[in-house]
Structure 1
Amino acid sequence: MFKMLEWVSAKAMTIAGWCYLVITLLICFDIAARRLLGFSTEATTEVTGYLMAIGMSWGLAGTLFERGHVRIDVLVQKMPLKLRVWLHLASLIALMAASGFFAWGAFSLARDSWDFGATDLSALHTPLALPQGLWAAGLGLLLLAVVALAARALRQLATGDADGMDRMLMARTYVDEAAETLEAVAEAQQGMQQPAVSAAAATAAGVSR
């Protein structure tokens, strides 16, 4: 269950990234269309607003699993491990309460929009339940991620694995950031080398013929 949620959250985070890319393309197209062609889509503001809300909420769970959220924990890191793990757990409980409240409010809003058949005021007349439902789904995924992390943290605490719990929940360090950067560079280099190897193999096969 935990691994599946991690996988789903990672895919949702990828979709969130594509949302921001589409936002950029839509804005650039609208600017170019106004400057060069003399027309505007008249819906860019609404669509980009929906995409921004969806991208934000769909990226939350994956960012939580990757420990990418900003945390002010200067004092926490100086405390003993036995106290630190309980503070980690308290922060998870607080996050669970907050994410549960936001998810409940988002789904309630989407349900009300569905019941009333509400649409936006743009030329598209988009049913508001659609973007609001997608936005709420991201917040629901965040809630599931928090529950999964809390369940694993409690299990680690019960089995005496305080170090494992601390590693899972502590803020990312510069060492983590450097390791991730090096891993990304290695993957990029491997991806660049693969086409070169394939081309060399194809050339060798052509010469042998």
Structure 2
Amino acid sequence: MQRYTRVASLIFGVMMLVLSAAVTLETLLRKLFSFSLGGVDELSGYAIALGAPLAFAVALLERSHIRINLLYLKLAPKRQAMLDAAAVLSLGALAVFLLFFTVQNVLDTRQYQSIAQTPWATPLIYPQALWLIAMLAFALPAVWLMLQVLNLLARRDWEGLRKRFGPESTEDELKAELDDLQRR
């Protein structure tokens, strides 16, 4: 999974760098030469549509999504494990819902042969097909994690749930940061 998150992060990062350069160039051309490339706003929308599911997948797999641990740390281990399971199952359900919505959108676009209402008049099936792939990149690992949670729940392995899906302890985070610093 580390390779998966690395590739998704790289794709996301490159897209955002290219988008930043395009927006900067567009702004400079408009301000200095009263000239516009046209379509940078359209590309921005596509980049965000592709980048968001990739970022969701990385946050899910790296357990880097925001958690509020104030109450969590005061709960009994079994209740912590149940909250961890609920978090993964709800994120997985969200991923499946978003994938379903995306598939429906792409099918409608294909049926109606929709085009963007922009100067480029892009056939929307192309960017939406990429959006579908990005949404799959989020949904597949989310479903995989859901299956792992369900397996651990069926075995009533509360400690396994906490260890695999709970937030990292302060010591774990410190160790990870020190390891990363040493690698650099």
User: TM-score range with shorter-chain normalisation?
Assistant: 0.7 to 0.9
Counterpart in the other structure of 2:125: 129
Q: Secondary structure at the match of 1:23?
A: helix
Amino acid paired to 1:100? V
Label 1:180 to 1:17 Cα distance change in 2 as closer, same or farther (>3 A).
farther
Q: Show the 5 A alignment for 1:15-164.
A: 15-158=11-154, 161-164=157-160
The answer on whether the counterparts of 1:60 and 1:138 sit within 8 Å (CA) in structure 2 is no
- Provide the secondary structure at the position in 2 that maps to 1:78: coil
Give the direction of change, closer, same or farther, for the CA distance of 1:22–1:173 in structure 2 (3 Å limit). Answer: farther
TM-score normalised by the chain length of structure 2: 0.86
- Deviations 1:7-34 (Å, cap 9, x if unpaired)? 3343122201111111111111101212
Contact 1:16-1:58 at 8 Å conserved across structures: yes
List alignment gaps of at least 5 residues for structure 1. Answer: 189-209
Asked whether the 8 Å contact 1:23–1:52 carries over to 2, the reply is no
User: Aligned equivalents of 1:179 and 1:120: distance in 2?
Assistant: 48
The structure number with the bigger radius of gyration is 1
13-22 vs 166-175, which moves further: 166-175
What letter matches 2:131 in structure 1?
W
Moved over 6 A (4+): none
% identical aligned pairs: 26
Q: 2:180 aligns with which of 180, 184, 208?
A: 184
CA shift digits 1:26-85 (9 cap, x unpaired): 111101212233311111111011101211112211210101111234222221112221
Contact 1:42–1:122 under 8 Å retained in 2: no
Deviation at 1:159, TM superposition (A): 5.2
- The alignment's C-alpha RMSD in Å is 2.2
Take 1:111 and 1:15, find their aligned partners in 2: how far apart are those partners?
25
Higher relative contact order (Cα pairs below 8 Å, separated by 6+ residues): 2
**Secondary structure, aligned partner of 1:75:** helix
Count how many residue pairs are aligned between Structure 1 and Structure 2.
184
Task: State how far apart, in whole Å, the 2-side matches of 1:42 and 1:177 are.
Answer: 45
